[in-house]
Amino acid sequence: MTQPLRLQGKRALVTGSDTGIGHEIGLEFARQGADVVFHYVNDEASVQEAIEEARSLGRKSTAFRADFNSLDDAIALADQSIEFLGGLNCLVNNAGVTFNRPFLKVTPQQFEAMFHINFRAQYFITQKVVDDLLRRGEKGAICNLSSIHALQGVPEHSVYAGTKGAIVSYTRSLAVELAHTGIRVNAIAPGWITVENYFKAIPGFTEEAGNETARNAIPISRCGRPSDIARLAAFLCSEDAEYIVGQTIVSDGGTTALMSLVSDFRKESANRFGADYLPG
């Protein structure tokens, strides 16, 4: 039996869709029936391949470049996308940069760039899209990409975690402000998703090394895949999720559910707490 197209008739902008999670989200939206605008900063070739795939599925698709260090660029991306698709009723704010530095070495310039790219751009793109939806009298869905860094602490990620925590908080507040208008806002907090950046940032990183670490650290025993997040984003922007409002859905294979004090979660513990109080 053919599966129904969950996003048939949707018109979506997916930011940061030249690589990684955003790239797969854009393609998944097209597979699910949506017309899609891709966004890129540098990797135009990858985006062109995605556009061709979307068009081969009968979708209307294009890509626009925008540097999110520039607020003018971000707002122009929203305007171009609205014009190209005749309005947007789905927005996935995926674009973001991962950054680690010891707290005492973070510069004001680095701090500003992180908040501009990871938070300010999506805030004002969303403002443009929401304003257009309200003027058109249309319903819509917005999905913001946060991170488990917003929920758990990792050394040297204070600025990055700050941007992702801001996304969780503003998602919740904006969602309750807009819910009565028919515009839903939710977020996703991905765990470890293996994307191109790992191979660039970590010397000698391999898929095998990542899988070995995952087997020992993640309850589901594997790293996440971009498709795990893409399918969740498609669901949150579909009518199937119409009663989900203001939530940050964690998709991390059990990472944040696992207490860090547990040494080996796959073996029965030799310790017997409560033996003096309970039988057996």
d(CA 34, CA 57) in angstroms, rounded, equals 10
- Written as six digits, the tokens of 113 are 């760039």
CA 226 to chain CA centroid, Å, is: 10
User: Are the C-beta atoms of residues 191 and 252 closer than 8 Å to each other?
Assistant: yes
d(CA 64, CA 80) in angstroms, rounded, equals 8
184 pLDDT band, cuts 50/70/90, is very high
Provide the greatest CA pair distance for the chain: 70
40: β partners: 65
Which CA distances in Å does 61 have to 51, 194, 216? 6, 26, 41
273 pLDDT band, cuts 50/70/90, is low
Superfamily (CATH H level) for 11-251: NAD(P)-binding Rossmann-like Domain (3.40.50.720)
Query: What pLDDT does 268 receive?
Result: 76
Boundaries of every domain in the chain: 11-251
Cβ-count burial 69-107 (b if 16+ within 10 Å, e if not): eeeeebbbbbebbbebbebbbbbbbbbbbbbebeeeebe
185: β partners: 142
The mean pLDDT of 58-69, rounded to a whole number, is: 98
Q: What is the pLDDT of residues 205-250, one digit of tens each?
A: 788 888 888 888 899 999 899 999 999 999 999 999 999 999 999 9
Residues tagged active-site: 147, 160, 164
Given a cut of 80, is residue 276 above it in pLDDT? no
194 pLDDT band, cuts 50/70/90, is confident
